[in-house]
Chain A
Amino acid sequence: MTLRFELKSAIAGAGDASGTNGARTGRLVLGRESDQSASAVTTDTTIDTPNYLKYTRHGLQPHMVREVAAELEGMPAATRVQLEDFLADEIPDYVKLGDGMHGFIGLDRSELLVLDTLDPTVPERTSKSSNTFMGVDSEGGTRRLTAEVFARLADQLKPDIVVPLADYVEEPHPSLTQGKRISKSVSRSCKWLEEYLSKRKHPAAVFAPVMGSLSTELRDISAKKLAALDEVAGYVFNDVSLDVAFEKKLQLVGHSLERLDASKPRYMAGASAPDSAVRAILRGIDLVDSSYPYAVTEQGFASTYVFGRSASDEEASTTSAGHVDLWQESMFSDFGPLVEGCECFTCRTHHRAYIHHLLMTKEMLSTVLLQIHNMHWYQRFFAAVRESLGRGQLEQDANRFLEHYCSDARDAAFGELETLGKQESSPTTKIQRKRHAEQHQ
């Protein structure tokens, strides 16, 4: 199994002549030898970047079982799974999984599987880590994940890409001057990475978390360490707990990128919303994840945002909210599709009135159908971003996009992920219904 990243083109970012910090297109190619070793046939899985990793819960995309997800076309063949979803029963022993995580969660072998530790949609964490383990909250209690256990599980689960265990700073506002939380985080993460690399047997490509939080000095230390390691094939920015403006986060990421190998792919968690994603892509990020469409679905919304070339025609017909709210009373007798002209299964098959009815009656099919549409829409957005990049128009298109959807503070789009953190789950929960009832009183 080999993973390579082919950088096709890079455009210089703001104030950066080297191209390190600018938007770029590339492809991630996974070569896998087939089982018949004699013929040594390799089948390649290719993911054009910028793109997203499919966000999952317990290894499945939210609300969509395999045969439902199969209704979607053009999805990148890359899935991210977080280990914490599988820790409810004590640290499991997956030794029986001859086939690894792919077989366990029903993923096609051709699909690129990224194993991370934590769910990127959960910004607030309470469990603490120590010098030797990461504390992970699960339904069954706090699990102590050591680098050794992590290496054993990663060996058994056989992911294509692994994001090794790191000591993420759980504080939303870590102090730069008092305490040593950030410096501990950097040194522990370095140590755990080395331990993982020395203990592991399964040769997954390593996408290493870039640490350092708010401290540029410590970010330098982390980046230099990672840049020196041959085994590191890509970089991950996982600062989802950090509560600073997104622009500030991008500056911190940019600071690290200048000290890292520009030829390697970069994944940023917490940059899933379209406005965040496009801004991150402009700063040289290659991969985000699809937690955003899930958050849209959980609100009972259907995405309508449009990017790039087709935007000028379609923008006029969509609001700057970037979505339609299917809870609205006006949906009651609206027999139109979620979005006129949309080719997703939901829009081809069902109308707004039905989805509204399913939400009002707390039927689980509501989120299934919305998720299909929202994932289709997310995929369409990334295709448009790559197309715009190819035309050399990304910056202009991005500016127009952000101007249209994000300039009106009252009706600002793309805030669904922030709401997700505070709500229970799906639109069928009582909390959601209460919110709805209050709105309509």
Chain B
Amino acid sequence: MTTTDEFDNLTTPLETSTSPALKFSVYSRCSTTKARASKMQLPHYTASTPMFMPVGTMGSIKGITTRQLEALDCHVILGNTYHLGSRPGPELLEKAGGLHKFMAWDRGMLTDSGGFQMVSLLKLANITEEGVEFENPHDGKMMMLTPEMSIGLQNSIGADIMMQLDDVVSSLTTGPRVEEAMWRSVRWLDRSMQAHKRPTEQNLFPIVQGGLDERLRTLSATELVKRNAPGYAIGGLSGGEAKGAFWRMVSLSTDILPTNKPRYCMGVGYAEDLVVCSALGVDMYDCVFPTRTARFGNALVRTGSLALKQGRFKDDMDPIDRDCDCPTCKTYSRAYLHTTVTKDTTGCHLITVHNIAFQMRLMRDIRRAIIEDRFPSFIREFMQTRFGKTVPRWVVEALQSVGVDLTVADEKGGYAATAIDEDFQKTPNV
């Protein structure tokens, strides 16, 4: 992996924010878009942003050792509070000295609140002002997760960044329930801040809510900024809403959130989303997609994804990606991977390693392009590689909103795209 740090020549930050357990320094701003490249100093590690955080739900990233994760240049990983709270449970994690020690990971870590899993995994979740009431899948008894309990669990886990419990509604919900959830999330933030016992060791991030309603999002973001948190998350998106609404909510949020603090867009991990959201001023991302799709034998490339199980790869002696310097691409051909994916655990590990390396390299490229102030041309190259001549309309419009117009050829006279109505790429651009 590359050891050169793209921040090496930058000595003075443009702006900073300092909290007891986090120092955020913006070193470089794109002169066209809202993108920025920053350093985020956490109790366990100083991360470079924009960054992608692989998800290690149960306290491990699928089959990958912590030493491999370091070699892959992962700065922060994510753990799920709901899962870790039931197994191994907060008592054991406290005894172990926190999740860092329990899993032997000494870089950055972020935990979610557990609320999303409550609502998405459990059928009988009922939300009241007190908290989320749910049926314990183990014994069938009704239980309650309150904002205080979520923070208590997260204090036991000990991650560098914790998330407030929020009242999650589907991004497809409309009507008064969205406003109720938004205001309740603000009240729950206040309770969470009250309950937080380790403010000098852990950061608590509020979550901007408000569904797809501009007025509610604005209200939410404005309310949260008053709490002077070390960083902010944009939540309640990536739930199947139209991408046109998604990017508008992200952009609206980053316009209100302070420029000297990190912004985290939850549940985002597709390459084009990472590029677009970075242009909209987002700094942090997480998603299960890269590691999950690896288990089905899908390797990520700039043009999309290769389903290595397919017969067309059985004689293909090229690596997944010639330009990738991950251990898998340096050693194995697609033909070899074709023989082992979905059969052996090592087949899965090889693709997982590549997919994490893919995400990390994309983020490094984004950071470098921002620092060298050529992010707009990076975006053009990226979109040309990924989509060719036809680019999803939401991408075109999101980028137009920050001064990059893909439909017009730039001064180099090369690439110009046509907008199409599909939100996602249907087939790889090969």
Contacts and interface: CB of A to CB of B under 8 A. Distances in A.
Contact of A106 (B331, B339, B353): B331
A85 interface: yes
A88 interface: yes
B343 interface: yes
A63 B88 contact: no
B106 to A, nearest CB: 11
Interface string A69-105: 0010000000000000110110011001100000011
A57 B92 contact: no
Interface residues of B, number: 44
Nearest to A57: B344
Contacts of B346: 57-58, 60-65
Nearest to A367: B345
B348 A364 contact: yes
A364 B65 contact: no
B345 A364 contact: yes
B251 interface: no
B332 interface: yes
A89 B65 contact: no
Interface stretch (B56-64, B177-185, B216-224, B298-306): B56-64
Contacts of B339: 58, 85-86, 88-89
Given A104-B336, A353-B96, A96 B315 contact: yes
A368 B65 contact: yes
The secondary-structure label for the interface of chain B is helix
A363 B327 CA distance: 22
Interface residues of A, number: 44
B66 interface: yes
B227 interface: no
B349 A335 contact: no
A7 interface: no
B68 A67 contact: yes
Interface in A30-71: 57-68, 71
A365 interface: yes
Contacts of A63: 63, 345-346, 349
Given A62-B344, A86-B339, A357 B68 contact: no
Interface in B64-78: 64-68, 71
A390 B429 CA distance: 63
B104 A332 contact: no
Interface string A328-350: 00001101000000000100011
Nearest to B337: A58
B14 interface: no
A181 B339 CA distance: 33
Contacts of B335: 96, 104
A331 to B, nearest CB: 11
A360 interface: yes
Contacts of A88: 339
Nearest to B64: A365
B327 A67 contact: yes
B63 A368 contact: yes
B345 A89 contact: no
B236 interface: no
Contacts of A65: 327-328, 346, 349-350, 353
Contacts of A96: 315, 317, 335
A112 interface: no
Interface string A282-310: 00000000000000000000000000000
B351 to A, nearest CB: 10
Contacts of A71: 67
A361 B83 contact: yes
17 contacts: A57-B343, A58-B339, A59-B340, A60-B344, A63-B349, A66-B327, A67-B68, A67-B327, A68-B68, A68-B349, A92-B314, A106-B332, A332-B92, A349-B67, A361-B58, A361-B83, A364-B345
Given A104-B335, A345-B65, 20 more contacts: A57-B344, A58-B339, A58-B346, A60-B346, A63-B349, A65-B328, A65-B349, A66-B327, A67-B327, A68-B65, A88-B339, A89-B338, A139-B343, A332-B92, A333-B95, A354-B102, A357-B58, A363-B62, A364-B348, A368-B349
**Nearest 9 Cβ contacts at the A-B interface:** A364-B63, A106-B331, A58-B340, A365-B60, A361-B58, A60-B346, A357-B88, A363-B60, A65-B349
